[in-house]
Structure 1
Amino acid sequence: MKLEEIYGKYVYIKKYNLYAYYEIAGKFLSSSAVIFIHSAGADSRQWHDTILKLPDNHTYIVLDMIGHGKTFPLNWKAIYEKETYAEYLKEFINELGLTRYVLVGDAVGARICLLYAVKYKPKELFGIIAFEPMDYIPGDWFGPLGTLEKELKDSQAIAKWFISLCSDKTPHEKKSKVAWFPLSNSYNITIGDLYSASVDLRNNLKEISCPVLLVRGKDDPLVSSQDMERIRKEIPNSSIVEIENTGHFPQVENPEVTAKIIEDFLNKINFN
């Protein structure tokens, strides 16, 4: 696929009285799709490099979450509860009339996908690919008792922190792209994303029945291999893949391998 073949649309989400912006690539939109959710402080562009490496035999949908990219914020405020994002995803899927879909998310986006599966248990959900997921982050990792909040004073500081989560082997150009997303999105929205990351899923992941692939960049300093193994044990039908020379943002740092992982998973679960 070429970048020119990715096109954007809006759909009205009645429950929130806002228009959701999303992009489509691959096959013409049908009732079956692969839906991509970006990480904190990013938007649909974060998945472009990976989607361009995928075969065009599926419909790929990349959603701007509330307040990100071309989707306006809700009541002009940041969202601190990831449950709102999960509900927004549900309403979006309903508005498009999707009856078969796979969810793909990175970091906060991965947690939104897992929370969505736990909360709504949709029979239409065929699988989840969760890049750099966490089942639990202590509430003080970012909040009043934490140190991260004191360091992230502005978008520039967040951008530098995001770069530090990349592999040392990631080329400068790709690190610059990782940094650009929080620079081009709202600082307050990004802060809200990071706060919402602390939701506790430890006692609920066992409720997920669809196949789940957990993916980690081997050089990610934030999500450890021990974290991934713990989550794998929590989700009944799950497995782990790790990517060499890659950090916290595989879809930007290593889109070729990321696309191959996605393609292989779709084939494995017979999502045609």
Structure 2
Amino acid sequence: MDIILRNNIHVTGNLESPQTLVFAHGFGIDQTSFSKVIPSFEHDYKIVLFDNVGGGKADIKAYSPKRYEAINGYATDVAGIIQALDLRQVTFVGHSVSGMTGMLTSIHYPGMIDKLVLLGSSPRYLNDPKDGYTGGFDHATLTSLFEAMEANYHAWAAGFSKVAMRNEDRPELAAAFAKTLNDIRPDIAIQVAKAIFYLDYRGELPKVTLPVLVVQTANDIAVPAVVSEYLEANIPNSRLTKVETEGHFPQISAPMEVVAAIQSFL
């Protein structure tokens, strides 16, 4: 029960199905971001949704700067959720940073996850000129980003939501993202953002032993196409598919394309 409340867990779909889909949201949004994807799977799969601690309707009292100073804390949470609900035959759909969370869970807790979908995920956001790696951001850009967050978080959220969501012809999408960003306590948002943007899990990619689907959108400010190509090249049993939508949130801007990609993978 503590975990249910901590992560605002909801279980829906076919509760008798032996197969489970766990959906995990990225930074600044919550489990409702998958609302247009879920109906396509409810008949055949048990569906598990949750909010990451620090966001959505997760228990704010559960947030600990020490536990979540790196995303390993979130991977431990995922393992706890799978154990507490006794989930089997799990396909983990992780958006953005939650893709890496799912990957770490599969490595540290072998057998818990059977398949993994990385939806707009990155093993490292920071460029590494020494290795010739392009993540999409340099040190100066990240420094400016965090200075903007710390100077006026709400103004930063209004601007960032537009460039991350894209789809300028549907401004309501960026407005909804701005709202969920603004619902996060600024100090928590800044710490979690730093944990995300400075992570580096490139060395973990060869350790992944399960089937992986990498999903890439067009014109994603957070994850350029070269990053998804890097994932496919370095995760042994992986394949890359591209969905025809712009921005970092394909489950919101093009849900049926995401559904088709996942269904093909399953």
TM-score normalised by length of structure 1: 0.83
- Once residues 104 and 142 of structure 1 are traced to their aligned partners in structure 2, the CA distance between those partners, rounded to angstroms, is 30
- Once residues 204 and 95 of structure 1 are traced to their aligned partners in structure 2, the CA distance between those partners, rounded to angstroms, is 26
**In the alignment, residue 13 of structure 1 is paired with which amino acid?**
I
- Once residues 76 and 106 of structure 1 are traced to their aligned partners in structure 2, the CA distance between those partners, rounded to angstroms, is 20
The match for 2:218 is: 218
Asked if the contact 2:74–2:101 (Cα under 8 Å) also holds between the matched residues in 1, the reply is yes
Asked if the contact 1:26–1:57 (Cα under 8 Å) also holds between the matched residues in 2, the reply is yes
| Equivalence map 1:69-148=2 (5 Å) | 69-73=56-60, 76-78=63-65, 79-120=68-109, 122-138=110-126, 146-148=143-145
Q: Secondary structure at the match of 1:147?
A: helix
Asked if the contact 2:214–2:232 (Cα under 8 Å) also holds between the matched residues in 1, the reply is yes
The match for 2:7 is: 20
The match for 1:39 is: 26
Q: Secondary structure at the match of 1:165?
A: helix
TM-score normalised by length of structure 2: 0.85
Greater mean alpha carbon deviation, residues 181-190 or residues 100-109: 181-190
Change (3 A) 1:118 1:70: same
Change (3 A) 1:168 1:30: closer
| CA RMSD in angstroms, aligned pairs only | 2.5
Change (3 A) 1:126 1:191: same
The match for 2:157 is: 158
**In the alignment, residue 251 of structure 2 is paired with which amino acid?**
Q
**In the alignment, residue 244 of structure 1 is paired with which amino acid?**
E
**In the alignment, residue 80 of structure 1 is paired with which amino acid?**
E
Asked if the contact 1:39–1:106 (Cα under 8 Å) also holds between the matched residues in 2, the reply is yes
Q: Secondary structure at the match of 1:70?
A: coil
- Structure 2: which 5+ residue stretches go unaligned? 128-136
**In the alignment, residue 193 of structure 1 is paired with which amino acid?**
V
Shift, 1:143, TM fit: 9.5
The match for 1:3 is: none
- Once residues 235 and 49 of structure 2 are traced to their aligned partners in structure 1, the CA distance between those partners, rounded to angstroms, is 25
Q: Percent identity?
A: 22
Asked if the contact 1:166–1:248 (Cα under 8 Å) also holds between the matched residues in 2, the reply is yes
- Structure 1: which 5+ residue stretches go unaligned? 1-10, 267-272
Asked if the contact 1:41–1:193 (Cα under 8 Å) also holds between the matched residues in 2, the reply is no
**Residue correspondences, number:** 252
Greater mean alpha carbon deviation, residues 212-221 or residues 22-31: 22-31
Shift, 1:175, TM fit: 2.4
